[in-house]
Amino acid sequence: MASCQCDGIEVIFNEKMANKELKTYRKKGPTGLTQALISFFTDQGLEGQSLLDIGGGVGAIQHELAAAGAGQVTNVDGSSGYLAACREEAELRKYADRATYHHGDFVELADELGQADIVTLDKVFCCYDDVDSLVKSSAAKAIRYYAVIYPQDKWWTHTIRIFGYLMSKIYSTTFRVFIHSTDHIDMLIRSSGLKPIHSEKQIFWQMVIYGR
């Protein structure tokens, strides 16, 4: 992967962490705003709608929406460990035949990928430095909905950057955590022709679902 942030992603979001998270997901299912995002789509019915999940991790959104009737699922992830864990679960749940997996930086791969009815990025903006390119290239892929979960831009959320710094020291990587401006992200998404239709907040995270 060309981006140094994505080199760090590969080290931090490694196989060991992926297996641990998959185990937790199997035990507890989706939680927090991830569950809220899933409920938003399952409540209104999916009817074969396609999903592009960027930085899907072990794949909570993919697995739940596929089970609820989503059609083609595409997962792009900078972590090969997470990608493997996600595919393992899709095989177990017997929907891997309608899923495709791409390893790498979404910004670099975007031109090779098609659009989807629903595009999701759950806790991904905070792992990526060039948020302008990430938002613009991903929002352009959304045919109907663009759903994002990312940290609120508050003084207390900035403290998480210390955690990112410690992780980078422990693992000797260039990985960093970013708290991007909410107003700036919202402006980028709106200028891609999307409007907010639903939002929820918790102490740290915020979820906004945009529609076209």
Ligand X SMILES: C[S@@+](CC[C@H](N)C(=O)[O-])C[C@H]1O[C@@H](n2cnc3c(N)ncnc32)[C@H](O)[C@@H]1O
The residues of the shown chain that bind ligand X, judged by CB under 6 A, are: 9, 13, 34, 54-57, 76-79, 82, 105-107, 122-124, 127-128, 134
Q: How far is the CB of 7 from ligand X (least distance, A)?
A: 11
- With beta carbons less than 8 A apart as the criterion, state whether 7 and 73 touch: no
Write down the least CB distance from residue 9 to ligand X, Å: 4
Query: Which lies closer to ligand X via its Cβ, residue 171 or residue 195?
Result: 171
Measured from the CB atom, is 66 or 127 closer to ligand X?
A: 127
**60-67 vs 32-44: helix crossing angle, rounded to 10:** 20
Supply the DSSP string of 134-174, one letter for each residue: HHHHHHTTEEEEEEEEEE--STTGGGHHHHHHHHHHHTTS-
Whole-number minimum distance, CB 126 to ligand X, in Å? 7
Nearest to 163 by CA among 175, 146, 150: 175
50 versus 120: smaller Cβ distance to ligand X = 120
The 8-class DSSP code of residue 204 comes to S
Q: Which is nearer to ligand X, 57 or 117 (CB)?
A: 57
